[in-house]
Amino acid sequence: MILAFDTTSSICSVSIFDGENIITQREESGFKHSTLLMPLIDRILQENNYTLGDIEKVIVSNGPGSFTGIRIGVATALGFKKGLNVPLYSVNSLDMMSYSSDDDIRCSIINARRHSVYAACYGKITLDPFNDDFNVIKSFIDGKVESVTFIGENISEFCEEIRKELNISVNAVKSIGSRGIILSYLDGKFSDDIYPNYMRKTLAEMERNL
Amino acid sequence: MTVLLAIESSCDECCAAVVKDGREVLSNIVNSQIDIHKNFGGVVPEVASRNHITTIESVVDRAIDESGISIEEIEGVCVTNRPGLIGSLLVGVSYAKSLAYSLGVPLIGVNHLDGHVAANYLGNRELEPPFIALILSGGHSHFYYTRDYGEYERIGATRDDAIGEAFDKVARLLKLPYPGGPHVEKLAEKGKVSIDLPLVLLEDDSLDFSFSGIKSKVMQIMDKGYRPEDIAASFQNTCFEIVAKKIERACKMQNIKKVVIAGGVASNKVLRSRLRELPLEIIYPDISLCTDNAAMIGAAGYHLFKKKKYSDLSMNAFSYSSD
């Protein structure tokens, strides 16, 4: 059985995969992942009659997203690795989000405030994960597509902008969370480098050009 | 025999230790980030958190390897969950939770300040409560009356800067590197106690401290032509005079003659020699256990473990101390 969890956004979600089915439990966290994650893991194992010995792999989304959320997920995964002696893998959270829809052109978007985003595009046209102004997405899809699916939370301002300025129809979808970790893993999109992928330096480092 | 693993990540040191019966250190690994934070002139919380997450695995591995025990022999996982930098604490707390859960052993959340006091149980095997504990560090200047193991009551605290914080700020004024304590102590060796600084003792019955006024006074005299070594010596002397007077007062008020000193400032030799003059039994932890470490968390956690004061999986980290 594979255990996967995502704490990079405001939703805390845990999934298990037995080789056939993915079972997911999620909770609106309001960034209280620290108190929610382990009880959620304990519950999903118990409700599905699994014991710790059944866990063969642990996969965690390691960013981008909330810096603290990323670390809660990665630290929890490392504790499992030490205690259970099982392999650990990571999935990029933008990749994870991209499995929330089957549409032809999908953009995973994490709102980093002040018009900045962590984002990537998937499907018929692709754009690798980046952290920059939302305008990068705008100019990337401009003239190439008639409709697009945006995946993420707190992204209505971006949807509005696209509809108004580019006359492209936008479909907004919420992330399926850790279920996407399993799907990405099954798709071969995962890594054994589990350390956080913040995609952004700290403010202190930026100020000092470190 | 009880063997506990302990993890401490409350500030800029990533630590893990294995402690036997709350008294014996089987291993004690400290990964300091001082060289990283020197670039910023102080601890940057986000930088500290980022370093904790990349070092915690190897720090815990080393602690278990060097202890000579196998991971199956660990009977509980202790972790600092307050007070401290929240992002840093959460790395240790999250790691400890899933580790304890997957090993099937109790999780024990420990107060960092309790840890500093308990550091004394490690070096001084005969030490038993009751005693008065004084924590002097970069984040704390706290008096506790320790009634029993893990049972204590705060009887005084700083109202502004912690003593170590005042040392850091004066060090910055004297253009000394971070962290300031050891550098001020070294410079003071060459200086004379010749400058009058305010001996702030507050109300007659108060066991609180206030160090910001002394620091401000130092700031005002910086351009008055005093030698830096004399400033360092006078500042240090004034701070420790206050500490000595407060210890005497605390002992008198609590009618007790045993005092345990803890925290990074406890390693200062001038402080130790000043306190030798007091007609009291003054106890220090080993120098290596004065600054942040996980062995002290294991020592404090042991008494919670014995009393079955376990934490559950929803345990959180807190920036403040709860007492």
In one letter, which amino acid is B271? Answer: L
Q: How far is CA A17 from CA A9, A20, A23, A75, B209, in A?
A: 21, 7, 7, 21, 57
* ipTM exceeding 0.90, yes/no: yes
Contact flag A75-B90 (C-beta cutoff 8 Å): yes
Judge if the upstream peptide bond of residue A87 is cis by omega within 30 degrees of 0: no
Contact flag B53-A202 (C-beta cutoff 8 Å): no
Predicted local confidence at residue B213, as pLDDT: 93
Q: Give the residue from B161, B11, B165 showing the smallest Cα distance to B85.
A: B11
Interface residue A195 vs chain B (CB under 8 A): yes
Beta bridge partner(s), residue A120: A108
B41: pLDDT confidence band, cut at 50, 70 and 90?
Answer: confident
Q: What is the pLDDT of residues B281-303, one digit of tens each?
A: 999 998 889 889 999 999 999 99
Predicted local confidence at residue B300, as pLDDT: 97
> In this model, does residue B323 exceed pLDDT 60?
no
> In this model, does residue A76 exceed pLDDT 80?
yes
Optimal mutation site among B75, B95, B311, interface A, most CBs of chain A within 10 A: B95
Whether the predicted model's global pTM rises above the 0.80 cut? yes
Using CA coordinates, name the residue in chain B closest to A7: B94
Optimal mutation site among B9, B14, B50, B178, interface A, most CBs of chain A within 10 A: B50
Interface residue A193 vs chain B (CB under 8 A): no
A157 to chain B nearest CA, in Å?
28
Quickly list DSSP for chain A.
-EEEEE-SSSEEEEEEE-SS-EEEEEEE-SS-HHHHHHHHHHHHHHHTT--GGG--EEEEE--SS-HHHHHHHHHHHHHHHHHH---EEEE-HHHHHHTT---SEEEEEEE-STTEEEEEEEESS-EEEEEEETHHHHHHHTTT-SEEEEESSS-HHHHHHHHHHH--EEEEE---THHHHHHHHHTT--BS--S---SS--HHHHHTT-
Contact flag B101-A42 (C-beta cutoff 8 Å): yes
Using CA coordinates, name the residue in chain A closest to B41: A204
